[in-house]
Each structure stands twice: as structure tokens, then as C-alpha cells.
Amino acid sequence: MSIPKIFSRSILILLSLAFITSCTQPQTLGMNPFWPSLSNLWGGDKDLERTQAAINSAETDKAQSSNPFLTGLTDKEIRHLKREAWSVYGTFWSGVASRSRYVRQPLLETLEASGAPSELQMVPVVESSYDPYVVSSVGATGLWQLMPETAKDMHVKSDANFDGRRDIRSSTKAAAKYLTLQHQRFGNWPMAFAAYHLGPNAVQRRLDRRPWQPKDGLKAMPLPPITKTYIRHIIGLIALHEQGKITFPEPFATQTMTLHIPVDIAQLQKASELPKNQIFRLNPKLKLNQYFKGKSKSIQLRISQVRVKKLQQHIPSKPVDYMTIKVAKGESIGRIGKRFRTSPLKIMSANPGVNMRPKAGTKLRIPVKLLQHVDPQDNPMVKPYLAPIVDLALN
């Protein structure tokens, strides 16, 4: 009987010491919500599994919050954002990815030069589906869907020859600067995106009435539903891209070339055997198909590196006072004269030895002085308003 009494006393002493230790060290147990309770020490595997799951969940949240665009969002919320973004953009991601190859090189270079995060490359997915020629119902255009007044405020310049809103470098530089300034103003990226979509003053008025921080959750943002959707889609795409669920192909490598005016881009593409509209896809800033008058003496174009040598064979190395064209099949000098609003005799005078029906493929020189009364054709890829899915959903 004496042995059980000694054993019982020993148990009581050990429990007392454990109680005293727990009271003197509250910061150890009390400040860690995942610290195992006494019951966990002998409560079986289920309690340990629940504790480990909670720890894993906390570590997951911490890892994801390291991305400044996901700061304050729970793992559950991020999973929801990814599912929503994938449900909207997953079905036509291949088209987005294909179009991005023509414009992502200058876009990424400009973001880096501006000191802006590369995650901003997801904004054009929502804004334009990476189609710089898209025109919204309210007149916005370009990858970043800039309105004429907004572009002017951002110092994005346009003229008779070029549309700065479709200029990848110019528009990206302006958008990156704008978004960065809004991030500095509001202190987080969701509200920076809100300012881009709704306007900073409108966002500020709503925050004055009802303050918001990322830890409050995106659902609690004091914004219109359409702006909330816009923000959720951008952040969801960022999370999907970070996870590797969606990827971009490598952009086409290009080289900037200087072309002396006059130049007929469509003719140049055809003569150089370039894919249809490739120059216009790589240079959406172009307003025109032909450039042969105005103050500019040259234009700078991005050309696919694998096509540069071929193109160089068909452009003059120095300025000239004529434009070279190729006669199309069945085309006569009379028809060419009508196209350039000049007489057949003037064309024949500039091209000695050519008769009224030259062979297809014959090169003709059209003097610049004969082109001054010709209205150049528009860029063939410029189109009227044709809203894509995201435009209908978010603008």
C-alpha cells in the first residue's frame, strides 16, 4: 500500500510543477494559437492532426502574403479569386497568350524601366485581352484602354500618323506611373486598381465614408460591384500566374528599324513576304498604311528579328524622293494612276520603258511630288468598336 501512496504523491508534485510553470510563462502558451493544449499531449492523433493542419494553413497564408498584390488576403479568399479568374479567362487564354507575343517584349521592358512590378502585365488581360486595337463602347483603346482625355493628362501623345494610346511603350509607361502613384496614395494594390477603373477621387470619397484595408477582405470594399469584379479578376490572374496555372509564351524578339518616308507598309510586307499584318501587329501605334507626306522624314518600327534581313532588301538605305511599288496581277498603269490620283503619263514618265500594262511583279517608282494629293489608307487592323467578353463585363 505504501508504494501507491508514494506514486500518487509524485504525480501530484509533477502536476503542481506543470501548473506553476504554465502560470509563469503565459507568453509561450498564450501567444501561440497553435500551441498544443494539455489534452493534445495525450488526446490522440486527431487533435495533433488538427493542430498540424492549422499550422500548415498559417504557413500557407504567410507564404502567399509575401506577394504585395495578395497582402492581407486569406488563403481561402485567394483560392476563390483564382477559381473565378480561371472560370472567366481560362476558356480563351490561348488567344490572349497568342496576341501577347507581339507586344509583351516592349511592355515588360517598359515596366522594368519604370520600376513597376511585372505583375501589372495582368492588367491588360482584363482591360483589352492583349488586343491593342480593341475600342471600348466609350472610346477607350490600346492595351491599357486609355480614353483620349486620360491619355492627354498622362502625356501620351497622338498625331495624324500615330496613336499614342496604342503605342506599347508610351501607354505602358503612363499606366505604370499612374498605378504606382495610386498605390502610394492608397497604400495597397486593390485600391490602386480601383482608382484606375473608377477614378481616384471617386475611390477617395467612398473610403472617406467607409474606410477599408485588405485585411477586411475584398467583399467589404466600398466600391461598385463592377469595380470589385475588375479588381478580383486582376488579382486572381496574378495569383494564377504566380502559381504557374497560366503562362505567357515567349514574346517575339524584335529589332527597331528606321524606315525612310515615303513607305507603303502593306506593299513592303508583301514584297518582303512577311506574314499578313505582322508589322501592324508589332506596331499598333501606326494609324496609316502609307506614309509619304508630313513633317516626319522617317518612322521607327519594331521588326521581327528573323525577318530583318529580308526586309532590308526592300527598303532604301538612305532617303529617296520616290516610293517603290509592285504591280499586282492584272493591274494597269491607268488603274495605278487612279489609286494615286495622278495621270498614267506622269507614272510612265517616272518609269521609262514601262508600257500601259506592265507584268505582275514589275517595280514602279512613284515620285513623292505625285503623292501629295493622295489620302493615305488607314492601318488595316484599326477597327470600329467590337467589345470583347471582358469589355462587356467590366467597362
Rounded to an integer, what distance in angstroms lies between the CA atom of residue 286 and that of residue 338? Answer: 25
* Tens digits of residue pLDDT in 295-321: 778 899 999 999 999 999 888 888 888
Question: Is the CA virtual torsion 106, 286, 276, 257 positive or negative?
Answer: negative
**213 or 55, which is more confident:** 213
Mean pLDDT taken over the chain: 84
Is residue 268's pLDDT more than 50? yes
Which residue did the predictor score with more confidence, 305 or 41? Answer: 305
Write the Ramachandran bin of 320: left for phi over 0, alpha for psi from -120 to 50, otherwise beta. beta
Looking at domain 254-370, its CATH class is: alpha beta
What is the reported pLDDT for 65?
52
The pLDDT of residue 102: 98
Residue given cell 485567394 in the structure block: 78
- For 363, the grid coordinates are 517595280
pLDDT score of 383: 74
The residues of the chain that CATH labels 1.10.530.10 are: 76-250
Q: Which residue has the higher pLDDT, 222 or 56?
A: 222
Which pLDDT score, from 0 to 100, does residue 385 have? Answer: 54
Whether domain 76-250 has CATH 1.10.530.10: the reply is yes
pLDDT band at 43 (very low <50, low <70, confident <90, very high): very low
Q: What is the pLDDT confidence band of residue 29, given thresholds at 50, 70 and 90?
A: very low
What does the alpha-carbon distance between residue 303 and residue 110 come to, in Å, rounded to a whole number?
18
pLDDT band at 9 (very low <50, low <70, confident <90, very high): low
> CATH 3.10.350.10 spans which residues of the chain?
254-370
236 vs 386, residue with greater confidence: 236
Mean pLDDT value of segment 265-286: 93
Q: How does pLDDT run across 154-186, given as a tens digit for each residue? A: 999 999 999 999 999 999 999 999 999 999 999
Most confident region among 54-63, 160-169, 330-339, 362-371 by mean pLDDT: 160-169
Answer yes or no: pTM beyond 0.95. no
Q: Which DSSP helix (H) or strand (E) runs through 364?
A: strand 363-367
Higher per-residue confidence, 284 vs 268: 284
- Confidence at 336, pLDDT banded by 50, 70, 90: very high
d(CA 53, CA 183): 34
Bridge partners of 260, per DSSP, are 298
φ, ψ at 392 (rounded to 5°): -65, -35
Decide which of 19 and 212 is more confident. 212
Task: Give the pLDDT of residue 7.
Answer: 46
pLDDT in tens, 183-227: 999 999 999 999 999 999 999 999 999 999 999 999 999 999 999
Average pLDDT over residues 244-273: 92
Q: Which amino acid is it at 117?
A: P
C-alpha span between 292 and 296 (Å, rounded):
9
